[in-house]
A and B are shown apart, each in its own frame.
Chain A
Amino acid sequence: MAALFDQSFDPSADKPQFPGASAEFIDHLEFIQPNVISGIPIYRVMDRQGQIINPSEDPQLPKETVLNFYEKMTLLNTMDRILYESQRQGRISFYMTNYGEEGTHIGSAAALDPKDLVFGQYREAGVLMYRGFPLDLFMAQCYANADDLHKGRQMPVHYGSKDLNFVSISSPLATQLPQAAGAAYALKRENSNRIVICYFGEGAASEGDAHAGFNFSATLECPLIFFCRNNGYAISTPTHEQYRGDGIAARGPGYGLMSIRVDGNDVFAVYNATKEARRRAVAENQPFLIEAMTYRIGHHSTSDDSSAYRSVDEVSYWDKQDHPISRLRHYMTAKGWWGEDEERAWRKQSRKLVMESFEKAEKRLKPNPNLLFTDVYKEMTPNLNKQKEAMWRHLQQYKEHYPLDLYEK
């Protein structure tokens, strides 16, 4: 990349002098053809039976680390099942599962430093899970109860944690990409050896903000990992209606981004790619793009029935034959680190943990309605203060028409 800008202006040489690109002349007409039939290869460390394919790529993680990966992926899966059902029963208003993408979350989160700043989209709960976000706080956010760090203001699954360096999720897609570039720039100036990781789906990558984020991060040399979860669908839209190039990874080089495509159902491949991208992002102050190929096994959200636009067979293939959790379990079983007994015990225990948090969250009151007015600005403005007082006068007069008893006093 540096070479492009180092070349000096030399009017005597019979070679192109255009400032906009560094290239040779060519004397015949030839359009560059996109390489979409045989695209950027998909990096894999273990096969579908959990066998390491190339020993030199084996990260050789210790048993406790691998067990932790597995426990976090399955705990997320258990929480997903329970919260999905609770939405079906009308107990929370909305939910989005992470089925099939657990490996992308855990593998990448494990390769980061806990101080690295995370910007996400909404299907990255496993990153928080890996960093130790308590089940109680996941539940508090979904129930928007008085324990919710976000004070009940956002829809369910819009998590965030200052302590865990996970920036609060917002619904508008791809807005976090240029923001991540800005945050990475600020971290670079701090000399803190921290980087930023920014997750997004392949659909969000079509937004203008994705273009902005890629380009800004390259020109401003930001220590940043763009992590794309390419799961084949943006709600109902399949990827062939999303783009016609070779996925997202192929766009990286166009921006001057170091890019790689990995098997998103292979937690070790995700881990290795993220680890190396992090190492180089810190050392070289440059952005990296990782496209993790995966499959969205669940519905887009609880407001979506995906059988309206894709076949049950297709979903079943990924669920039964190429799932990040079962693949890691094969690996652990082969190592003799995991068996039926451990599986049964952990299933039971994880379910219990989730149910306990779930019941606690459901019983909790909602936050005080005053919190409707705070944090709009850092300070309470006179205008908002008046509106707050007006609301309370109104509630005083019409209290029987409002669910005041569900809220903290």
Chain B
Amino acid sequence: MAAAARLFWRSSGVKSSFSGLSGALQSSLRVTPLELSPDCTTKPKTQIRHAAHFTYHPDPVPTQYGPTQKMNFFQAITSALDNTLASDPTAVIFGEDVAFGGVFRCTVGLRDKYGKDRVFNTPLCEQGIVGFGIGVAAAGATAIAEIQFADYIYPAFDQIVNEAAKFRYRSGNMFDCGKLIIRSPWGCVGHGALYHSQSPEAFFAHCPGIKIVVPRGPVQAKGLLLSCIADQNPCIFFEPKILYRAAVEQVPSEAYHVPLSQAEVLQEGSDLTMIAWGTQVHVMREVASMAQEKLGVSCEVIDLQTILPWDKDTVCKSVVKTGRLLISHEAPVTGGFAAEISSTVQEECFLSLEAPITRVCGYDTPFPHIFEPFCIPDKWKCFEAVKRMINF
């Protein structure tokens, strides 16, 4: 299933990792990994890619968890995994190509540090990886499984939905796989087309028994991943791959936790509430500035962070205050998680709403290669939605 992708990404991933190392952490935070590839610059006029669709906003330096280090997103993931393997002798990490460091470099150095029996490659089979992880967790050990791209998680859909999610419930709490975590690169990347771009969170949001988490940057990623690992329920942790190198900030070296099922209000506002997760949070922050600048509109920006079980209270409280809600995600609009938020807020905040809840999402098409700039819910589409909602 992931064979073609492996070839494609292995070569490009290694290449960009080399340039990433030599250039240290890129000075421009907007570039995506493959833009670093020298191959892309041979014909500048025709080959230059569309500028990144977001501007990364680093989190404030966390002071409460001890010394920090400058890390990009993938390094923050490695750091969380490192902390876990150090403190939990049962913890193992496995998946396709994790032994040499992973196609996105998230597991670099861990095998040397912790041993072959704790960080190992599996055969190329996603249903096997998740089934295996469920078994490891059912036997009481911590299982950190990697699915190489979220696009390739579907072969494991049965193991996730019918097995992992229902293990505790169906056995009357005699058995569980609460120590299972599935990590997977997620979201658009500029040129990933149909099978290196997907955002499948809504498929899983319909499944009681699992938790789904999407962080927006390195600090949140490490804290949320460690919370997923500590959590006694099976978790799916989606990592926005466009941020792996692009997002850089100061991250605590030691372990710390960011709570699950808790949205974060990143910017307070009074006229309109904006909700997103992953990379889209950064798009929303930019839209909020544009709205303030161009329209004098005060936006409240919320990072949902946990898709399931989601934080209704924070969202509804905000909408009661602002009276307007804009939800945006990269995934297709029909059946997307924005529909769930929208419907719930409409039920809970009917008397406060002053305009229809608006969803700015991906179109109901597969994720295309060359049309990506037109298909993503970028800042201009979101800005236009804000304008309409304010003028409603």
Binding site for B on A (CB under 8 A): 117, 119, 148-151, 153-154, 158, 160-162, 167-168, 170, 172, 175, 177-187, 189-190, 196, 208-209, 211-213, 215-216, 219-220, 374-379, 381-383
- Please give the residue numbers on chain B whose beta carbons come within 8 Å of chain A beta carbons, in ascending order: 90, 92, 117, 120, 122-123, 125, 127-128, 130-141, 143, 155, 158-159, 162-163, 166-176, 178, 208-209, 211, 232-233, 261, 309, 312-313
A184 and B135 contact, CB distance less than 8 A: yes
Q: Which residues of B contact A178 (CB under 8 A)?
A: 127-128, 130-132, 134-135, 159
CA distance A119 to B162 in the complex (A): 16
Query: Is the pair A153, B136 in contact by a Cβ cutoff of 8 Å?
Result: no
Q: Known: A186-B90, A375-B168, A383-B312. Is A181-B209 also a contact (CB below 8 A)? A: no
27 contacts between A and B (CB under 8 A): A119-B135, A149-B172, A149-B174, A153-B172, A162-B174, A162-B175, A170-B170, A177-B131, A178-B127, A179-B131, A179-B138, A180-B135, A182-B132, A182-B137, A183-B139, A184-B135, A185-B136, A190-B139, A375-B168, A375-B172, A376-B208, A376-B209, A377-B211, A381-B261, A382-B312, A383-B309, A383-B312
On whether the beta carbons of A167 and B170 are closer than 8 Å, the reply is: no
Query: In the docked arrangement, what's the CA distance between A391 and B148, Å?
Result: 41
- Residues of A close to B136: CB separation below 8 A: 182-183, 185-186
Contact of B163 among A162, A172, A186 (CB under 8 A): A172
The answer on a CB contact under 8 Å between A189 and B175 is: no
Q: Are B125 and A187 in contact (CB under 8 A)?
A: no
Bound Cα distance from A117 to B127, whole angstroms: 21
Cβ B122 vs Cβ A219 within 8 A:
yes
With known contacts A178-B159, A181-B135, A183-B136, A153–B170 Cβ distance under 8 A: yes
- Given contacts A220-B120, A220-B122, A378-B176, are A187 and B312 in contact (CB under 8 A)? no
- Measured CB to CB, the nearest residue on chain A to B261 is A381
Specify which chain B residues have a CB less than 8 angstroms from the CB of A184 in the assembled complex: 135
B131, A212: Cβ atoms under 8 Å? yes
**Interchain CB contact under 8 A, A377 and B309:** yes
Q: How far is the CA of A383 from the CA of B211 in the complex (A)?
A: 13
User: From B234, which residue of chain A is reached at the shortest CB distance?
Assistant: A377
Of all chain B residues, the one with the shortest Cβ separation from A367 is B172
**What is the CA–CA distance of A209 and B158 in the complex, to the nearest angstrom?**
10
| CB-nearest residue of chain B to A180 | B135
**Assembly CA distance A383 to B167 (angstroms):** 20
Q: Which of A151, A175, A181 contacts B159 (CB 8 A)?
A: A175
Interfacial chain B residues near A212, Cβ < 8 Å? 123, 125, 127-128, 131-132
Q: Tell me which residues across on chain B come within 8 A of A175, comparing CB atoms.
A: 131, 158-159, 162-163
Residues of A near B175 (CB, < 8 A) are 160, 162, 167-168
Q: How far is the CA of A196 from the CA of B131 in the complex (A)?
A: 15
Given contacts A158-B170, A219-B122, 5 further A-B pairs with CB under 8 A are A168-B170, A168-B174, A172-B162, A180-B135, A379-B232
Residue of B140, B166, B171, B232 with most partner-chain A CB within 10 A? B171
Minimum CB–CB distance for B248 against chain A, Å: 34
| Contacts A181-B135, A220-B122; A375 near B169 (Cβ below 8 A) | yes
A246 to B178, CA, bound (A): 39
Which of A187, A375, A383 contacts B173, CB < 8 Å? A375
- In the bound complex, do residue B163 and residue A189 qualify as a contact, i.e. CB atoms below 8 Å apart? no
Chain A hits for B117, CB < 8 A: 189
The reply to whether B172 and A172 form a contact with Cβ atoms under 8 Å apart is: no
Chain A residues whose CB sits within 8 angstroms of the CB of B130 once the complex forms: 178
The distance in angstroms between the C-alpha atoms of A291 and B312, with both chains bound, is: 52
Give the distance to chain B from A357, nearest Cβ to Cβ, in Å.
19
- Flag if B131 contacts A209 (CB, 8 Å): yes
Query: Contact: A160 with B138, CB < 8 Å?
Result: no
Compute how far the CA of A41 lies from the CA of B123 in the bound complex, rounded to whole angstroms: 31
Chain B CB within 10 Å, residue with most, of A178, A376, A382: A178
On whether the beta carbons of A378 and B127 are closer than 8 Å, the reply is no
Bound-state CA distance A120–B373 (Å) is 50
Q: Point out the residue from A117, A179, A216, A376 that lies within 8 Å of B122, measured CB to CB.
A: A216
Residues from chain A with a CB closer than 8 A to the CB of B174 are 149-150, 160-162, 168
Provide the bound-state CA to CA distance between A190 and B141, in Å.
9
B141 adjacent to A153 (CB under 8 Å): no
Q: Which residue of A lies closest to B155 (CB)?
A: A208
Nearest CB to that of B134 among chain A residues? A179
Complex Cα spacing A265 to B148, Å: 45
Report Cα–Cα, A151/B168, bound state, in Å: 11
Q: What is the bound-complex CA distance between A286 and B365, given in angstroms?
A: 47
Contacts of B155 in A (CB 8 A): 208
A376 to B207 alpha-carbon distance, docked (Å): 10
User: How far apart are the CA atoms of A220 and B143 in the complex, in Å?
Assistant: 15
B169 touches A376 (CB 8 A): yes
Is the CB–CB distance between B209 and A377 below 8 Å? yes
Tell me the minimal C-beta distance from B317 to chain A in angstroms: 14
Known: A150-B172, A213-B131. A182 touches B122 (CB 8 A): no
Q: Which of B134, B208, B232 contacts A378 (CB 8 A)?
A: B232
A189 and B92 form a contact (CB under 8 A): yes
Q: Is the CB of A179 within 8 A of B132?
A: yes
- Residues of chain B lying within 8 A (CB to CB) of residue A189: 90, 92, 117, 141
Task: Report whether B166 and A170 are in contact in the complex, using a CB–CB cutoff of 8 Å.
Answer: yes
Kindly report which residue of chain B lies nearest to residue A161, judged by CB atoms.
B174
Bound CA span A180–B139, Å: 9
Shortest distance between the CB of A349 and any CB in chain B (Å): 30
Query: Quick check: A150 and B170 within 8 Å, CB to CB?
Result: yes
Q: How far is A178 from B117 in the complex, measured between Cα atoms in Å?
A: 18
Decide if A182 touches B309 in the complex (CB within 8 Å).
no
Residue numbers in A under 8 Å from B143 (CB-CB): 182, 186
Q: How far is the CB of A134 from chain B (nearest CB, A)?
A: 15
Partner of A209, one of B127, B167, B312: B127
Cβ contacts under 8 Å, B137 to chain A: 182
Q: Which of B135, B137, B141 has most A Cβ within 10 Å?
A: B135
- Alpha-carbon separation in the docked complex, A190 to B136 (Å): 11
Q: Which residue of A lies closest to B140 (CB)?
A: A186
Give the docked Cα–Cα distance between A211 and B132 (Å): 12
In the complex the two chains form, is B135's CB within 8 Å of A185's CB? yes
**Across the interface, which residues of A come within 8 angstroms of B120, CB to CB?**
220
Measured between beta carbons, the chain B residues less than 8 angstroms from A117 are: 139
Q: Which residues of the partner chain A approach B122 to less than 8 Å between Cβ atoms?
A: 216, 219-220
Residue of A177, A212, A376 most packed against chain B (CB within 10 A): A212
Contact B232 A215 (CB under 8 A): no
Contact between chains at B138 and A182 (CB < 8 Å): yes
Of all chain A residues, which has the CB nearest B132? Answer: A182
A150, B171: Cβ atoms closer than 8 Å:
yes
For the complex, what is the distance from the CA of A378 to the CA of B167, rounded to whole Å? 11
Closest to A218 in B: B123
Contacting B158 at CB < 8 Å: which of A172, A185, A186? A172
Q: Name B123's closest neighbour in chain A (CB-CB).
A: A215
Least Cβ–Cβ distance between A245 and chain B, in angstroms:
20
